[in-house]
Amino acid sequence: MSVPLLDLKPQYAALQAGFDAAIARVVGSQHFIMGPEVNAFEAEVASFLGASSAVTCASGSDALLLALWALDIGPGDEVITTAFTFFATAGAVSRLGATPVFVDIDPATLNIDPVAIDAAVTARTKAIIPVHIFGLPADMDAISAVGRKHGLAVIEDAAQSIGATWRGQQTGTMGDFGCFSFFPSKNLGCWGDGGLVTTMRDDLREVVKQLRVHGNYPKKYFHKRVGMNSRLDALQAAILRVKLPHLAAWGEARRERVIGYKARLADRGLAEQVVFQSVPEQAVPVYHQVVVRIAERDRVMAHLQARGIGCAIYYPRPLHLQECFADLGQTEGSLPHTEQACREALALPIFPELSADQQDEVVGALAEAIQ
Ligand SMILES: *Cc1c(COP(=O)(O)O)cnc(C)c1O
């Protein structure tokens, strides 16, 4: 039996009638840009998150860009973040002419190490971007404290963590900004690109809204600043409105499947060889990915692939060692925990509908490779 890394088809089949009605509604109205669907989704997702407002945009990458831009971050400024993340986290910083400064992770959680952030602050530092990697909240108590101590903005990259909580509070609502992605494979995915910015900064909410529509202010065709075009399509908003009511249950199903993996591995005596992200007691993760660490990862991965088990490496090369960041001067060996995670990390199949038989198959294949 082959097992895909991610299968979106069961979710589509379960909600098809709702999608059909939502699409017919938008197409019938012929209202495709902004308007009632986008407004309704923004209100519904803000309420889900417990955020005072939510501003949609064209992608998670743009959400990061809009947040940094609203903070007026640019040339000469430094932004501290993790090198163990998707490229967009740091790409947004560079696109504005600012400098990403990469610090190491905590090897137990794979999230950014707050002590390392504190040590990397300089007179040029303007912001910190923690990433809630694979849907596990970063230590927001310690990160917020470092931010307060040095007067830095905190932008949460919550692209992988929608629905996850830290001390009961949703990720993306604890920093100055929260940035989310609705890329199809994310836990709340649309049928194309989409993103969202939340902000706790009442003074900057309107700035984000202006920047996403060419800096329009005080009305259309009048421009207070130069912005961009970064909107969520009404069709995507309508699709997301069908999915949002199910997000909490999907998160629960993902957590159950991780418990299932751990129990099966323990039964086979493999609990030590297959190491999961350790979950702090304050955190409720949503497992966007189930990333485990395994010695001889490449050999184990080849075996799983030969057995038809979907798996992937997040991330094969850390950001500080990417060619485009070579001039920043962070060389091999500078972030040892990050580099080791890149050598050992392996993502296993996870989606809410993953069956018990499929989990047996994955763990069976792991056992063959490791024992
Ligand atoms: C997916 C992702 C993004 C970017 O989102 P897009 O919608 O693909 O632009 C940013 N950061 C992280 C950590 C992500 O996983």
What mean pLDDT is predicted for residues 133-154? 98
What distances in angstroms separate CA 170 from CA 112, 195, 249, one per listed residue? 18, 17, 15
Distance CA 11, CA 27 (A): 22
| Lowest model confidence (mean pLDDT) among 51-65, 108-122, 147-161, 214-228 | 214-228
Find the distance separating the first CA and the last CA of the chain, reported in whole Å: 21
pLDDT score of 326: 96
Cα 195 to middle of ligand 1, angstroms: 9
What mean pLDDT is predicted for residues 226-252? 97
The pick from 89, 181, 188 for probing ligand 1's pocket by mutation, whose C-beta has the most ligand atoms within 8 angstroms, reads: 181
Cα 57 to middle of ligand 1, angstroms: 13
pLDDT score of 217: 86
What mean pLDDT is predicted for residues 60-86? 98
Say yes or no to pLDDT of 371 above 90. Answer: no
Asked if residue 251 lies in contact with residue 171, where contact means CB atoms within 8 angstroms, the answer is no
Asked if residue 90 lies in contact with residue 325, where contact means CB atoms within 8 angstroms, the answer is yes
What mean pLDDT is predicted for residues 264-291? 97
244-277: pLDDT as tens digits: 999 999 999 999 999 999 999 999 999 999 999 9
pLDDT score of 33: 97
pLDDT score of 237: 98
pLDDT band, residue 35 (cuts 50/70/90): very high
Does ligand 1 come within 6 angstroms of the Cβ of 171?
A: no
With CA atoms as reference, report the closest residue to 197 among 80, 44, 53.
53
What mean pLDDT is predicted for residues 159-184? 98
Asked if residue 269 lies in contact with residue 366, where contact means CB atoms within 8 angstroms, the answer is no
What mean pLDDT is predicted for residues 157-167? 98
What distances in angstroms separate CA 308 from CA 287, 358, 371, one per listed residue? 22, 11, 19
pTM, rounded to two decimals? 0.98
Distance CA 328, CA 12 (A): 44
- DSSP sequence for 230-262: ---BHHHHHHHHHHGGGHHHHHHHHHHHHHHHH
Does ligand 1 come within 6 angstroms of the Cβ of 172?
A: no
Cα 343 to middle of ligand 1, angstroms: 22
Atom of ligand 1 at shortest range from CA of 131: 13
Strands annotated E in 247-337: 283-284, 290-293
Q: Which ranges constitute the DSSP H helices of 30-113? A: 36-49, 60-70, 88-95
3-state DSSP percent of the chain in helix, strand and coil, to 5: 45, 15, 40
- Residue range(s) occupied by CATH 3.90.1150.10 in the chain: 247-370
Say yes or no to pLDDT of 173 above 90. Answer: yes
pLDDT band, residue 162 (cuts 50/70/90): very high
Atom of ligand 1 at shortest range from CA of 62: 9
pLDDT score of 218: 86
Domain 247-370: give its CATH code. Answer: 3.90.1150.10
78-107: pLDDT as tens digits: 999 999 999 999 999 999 999 999 999 999
With CA atoms as reference, report the closest residue to 283 among 130, 164, 134, 142.
164
Q: Which residues pair with 346 in a beta bridge?
A: 292
Instruction: Give the chain's count of helices (H) and strands (E).
Output: 12, 12
pLDDT score of 354: 98
Distance CA 233, CA 356 (A): 37
Asked if residue 89 lies in contact with residue 129, where contact means CB atoms within 8 angstroms, the answer is yes
User: pLDDT averaged over the chain?
Assistant: 97
Residue 144 in tokens: 């917020």
pLDDT score of 63: 98
Domain 9-103+110-245: give its CATH code. Answer: 3.40.640.10
Atom of ligand 1 at shortest range from CA of 194: 7
Q: How are beta strands 125-129 and 78-82 bridged, if at all?
A: parallel
With CA atoms as reference, report the closest residue to 236 among 198, 288, 188, 171.
188
- Residue range(s) occupied by CATH 3.40.640.10 in the chain: 9-103+110-245
Distance CA 43, CA 230 (A): 18
What mean pLDDT is predicted for residues 73-77? 98
Distance CA 346, CA 338 (A): 14
Say yes or no to pLDDT of 292 above 90. Answer: yes
Asked if residue 304 lies in contact with residue 297, where contact means CB atoms within 8 angstroms, the answer is no
